[in-house]
C-alpha cells in the first residue's frame, strides 16, 4: 500500500501538534487525525506512544547548539550550549523524565552532542575521568532549570502565610517592584556561572 506514513512524518506532526496544543494535546488520536489517518495506522510505524516521545526527543536534541565547543573558549561554549539546551527543553518538560533515564544507545543525535561536548572538555584540559560527571552535573542543572522556566510569576507568593515567613517574604519582595517576581532567568545565569567556575577549576591545562 502507498506509505502515507513514516517515522519522520510522525515526528514532524507530533512536534507541530505539541507546539499548538501542548503535551496534553498530543494523543495518538489527535496525532492520527493531523496526519489524516486512523489511530491504529500509527502502530505500523511506532510501537507505542512512548516511542513517539523518543522520536520527538531525538529531533529536539539535534537542535541543541553545541557548536561553540569547536570555536569558543570552554566557558563560553558551555554557556551557549546550556542556554540553547534549556531554551529548547523548557517548552518540552514532559520529555525530561523520559530523557533523563533513556539510554543513549539508540539516540544518535544525543550521542553526537555528547561526543562534541566531551571533545570540548578534553580540549579545555579536563582529566578524562572528570568529564562525564561534569556533563551529568551540568545536564541535571539544565533540566531542573527547564522546569523552573515554566513557573508562574507568583510562584513565591507566600499569601496569608507571609507573616510567618518574614525573611523569605522580604527576600522575594527585594527582587523587584512587582510583588511577585520570579527570577528564573537570573537564577539560571547565576547558577550556571557558579557551575562553570567550580567545574572549570578541575582543568589541568587552562589554555583551552
Q: Total residues contacting DNA (rule CB under 7 A)?
A: 24
| CB nearer DNA, residue 14 or residue 131 | 14
**Scanning the structure block, which residue is given the C-alpha cell 494523543?**
27
Could you say which of 45, 123, 173, 203 contacts DNA (CB under 7 A)?
45
Q: Does 48 bind DNA (CB under 7 A)?
A: yes
Which stretch, 1-9, 87-95, 146-154, 199-207, contacts DNA (CB under 7 A)? 1-9
| CB nearer DNA, residue 49 or residue 91 | 49
Q: Report whether 37 contacts 4 (CB < 8 A).
A: yes
Dig out the grid coordinates for 46 from the structure. Answer: 511506532
* Backbone phi and psi for residue 19, each to the nearest 5 degrees, phi listed first: -70, -25
Supply the DSSP string of 7-29, one letter for each residue. HHHHHHHHHHHHHHHTTTS--HH
Dig out the grid coordinates for 197 from the structure. Answer: 567556575
| CB nearer DNA, residue 38 or residue 187 | 38
Task: Decide: residue 207, CB within 10 A, 0-12 exposed, 13-18 middle, 19+ buried.
Answer: exposed
Q: What are the distances in angstroms from CA 65 to CA 56, 61, 78, 105?
A: 17, 9, 10, 21
Q: Does 38 bind DNA (CB under 7 A)?
A: yes
206: partner contacted, choices its own copies, DNA, none (Cβ within 5-8 A by kind): none
168: partner contacted, choices its own copies, DNA, none (Cβ within 5-8 A by kind): its own copies
Q: Does 77 bind its own copies (CB under 8 A)?
A: no
| CB nearer DNA, residue 44 or residue 71 | 44
Q: How many CA atoms lie within 13 A of 123 on its CB side?
A: 17
- By CB under 8 A, what part of segment 88-147 binds its own copies? 93-94, 96-97, 100-106, 108, 111-112, 114-115, 118-119, 121-122, 128-134, 136-145, 147
Residues within the interface to DNA (CB under 7 A) = 1-5, 26-30, 32, 36-41, 43-45, 47-50
Amino acid at each position: 500500500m502507498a506509505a502515507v506514513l513514516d517515522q519522520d512524518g510522525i515526528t514532524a506532526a507530533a512536534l507541530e501538534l505539541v507546539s499548538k496544543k501542548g503535551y496534553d494535546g498530543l494523543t495518538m488520536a489527535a496525532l492520527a487525525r493531523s496526519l489524516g489517518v486512523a489511530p491504529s495506522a500509527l502502530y505500523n510505524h511506532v510501537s507505542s506512544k512512548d516511542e513517539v516521545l523518543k522520536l520527538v526527543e531525538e529531533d529536539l536534541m539535534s537542535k541543541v547548539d553545541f557548536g561553540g565547543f569547536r570555536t569558543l573558549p570552554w566557558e563560553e561554549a558551555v554557556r551557549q550550549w546550556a542556554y540553547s539546551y534549556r531554551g529548547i527543553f523548557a517548552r518540552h518538560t514532559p520529555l525530561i523524565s523520559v530523557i533523563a533515564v533513556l539510554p543513549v544507545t539508540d539516540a544518535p543525535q544525543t550521542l553526537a552532542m555528547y561526543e562534541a561536548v566531551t571533545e570540548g572538555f578534553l580540549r579545555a584540559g579536563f582529566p578524562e575521568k572528570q568529564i562525564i560527571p561534569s556533563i551529568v552535573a551540568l545536564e541535571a542543572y539544565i533540566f531542573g532549570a527547564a522546569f523552573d522556566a515554566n513557573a508562574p510569576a507568583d510562584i513565591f507568593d507566600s499569601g496569608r502565610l507571609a507573616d510567618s515567613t518574614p525573611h523569605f517574604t522580604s527576600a522575594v519582595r527585594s527582587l523587584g517592584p512587582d510583588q511577585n517576581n520570579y527570577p528564573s532567568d537570573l537564577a539560571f545565569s547565576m547558577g550556571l556561572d557558579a557551575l562553570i567556575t567550580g567545574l572549570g577549576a578541575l582543568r589541568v591545562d587552562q589554555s583551552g
